[in-house]
Amino acid sequence: MNCLKILLIEDDIVDQMVIKRKLTTTFEAAQIDIASTIADARQQLRSHQYDFTLVDLHLSDGIAFELASDLKTLPFILLTGSDDKDDREAALSMGAVEVLVKDINLQHLGHITTIINNTLKKIPLSSVLVSEKNQLVHSSKNEFNLTLLKKNFNNDDALIKEIIQSFLSESKNQMKQLNIAGQIDDKKTIFKTAHQLKSSFALMGMKYLSSLSKDIEQAIKSNHKIDFIQRIIKQLTTASKEPCLQLKHYLNSLHEQAN
């Protein structure tokens, strides 16, 4: 599979890192381009020729379905943070090869590379694809899952350190943005930011925080009053402090070991 060209359309920096790492490890000669917005993706899709595309459902300036006309002749996988039947049906109707739920054990990464291989080789997917229900590990709500991180990234301390640093920086900014949006009743920003946090927390094995972020999403969808949403945001803000502090301590321990 020479000169494989893949476009990853994803606005979460940590997800970008993890997915690109998996792709470059599996397809060593591949060219992986990244677009973080609908506008950027549309420009790249119209300017370059790709063999495959991965697109996250929710982006900062819209949703993946807005790219329907640009993706109609290109095989693509839709990535999403929740197993929504309507979204799945819409994506498949739009021409998606498959819809994968980002799960906490990162099993979707293996499915991505399998699907790309089989699609480009024109091998039926039904014989290799397993259920994409979220398979969440059991861990304390106040802890990050270091064992999971080490397992998913082959005990590569340098990579884990890079991912944790990116997560801490991004999540800090996102939590600040979420709280500001909650104060001014900006539900569009609340939903977008909660969706991004849900994915990031899940990647770090923070099941409880990912679940709270999903609760915020659901509250927006159900048109709950802002005071109810603010309470969940406050709960998420408080609950996130301890695991993020643990991550900082872990980074310090890696630094001390290096010295």
Could you report the per-residue pLDDT of 199-229, keeping only the tens digit for each?
Answer: 888 888 788 888 889 889 888 988 888 988 9
Residue 134: what pLDDT?
Answer: 31
Query: Is residue 139 very low, low, confident or very high in pLDDT (cuts 50, 70, 90)?
Result: very low
For 47-55, what is the mean pLDDT? 91
Tell me which residue has tokens 């470059």: 24
CA 153 to chain CA centroid, nearest Å: 16
Residue 7: what pLDDT?
Answer: 95
The pLDDT > 70 percentage for the chain reads 89
Please list the alpha-helical segments (H only) found in 95-225: 107-120, 146-152, 157-183, 187-203, 207-221
Question: Could you give the domains of the chain?
Answer: 5-120 (3.40.50.2300), 146-258 (1.20.120)
> For residue 129, what is the DSSP state?
P
Sign of the dihedral through C-alpha 58, 164, 250, 233: negative
Round to whole Å and give the CA distance between 119 and 179.
Answer: 42
Residue 233: what pLDDT?
Answer: 93
Beta strand pairing call for 58-59 and 76-80: unpaired
In degrees and rounded to multiples of 5, residue 213 shows phi and psi of -60, -40
Residue 143: what pLDDT?
Answer: 57
Tell me the pTM.
0.64
* DSSP per residue, 223-255: T--HHHHHHHHHHHHHHHHHHHHHHHHHHHHHH
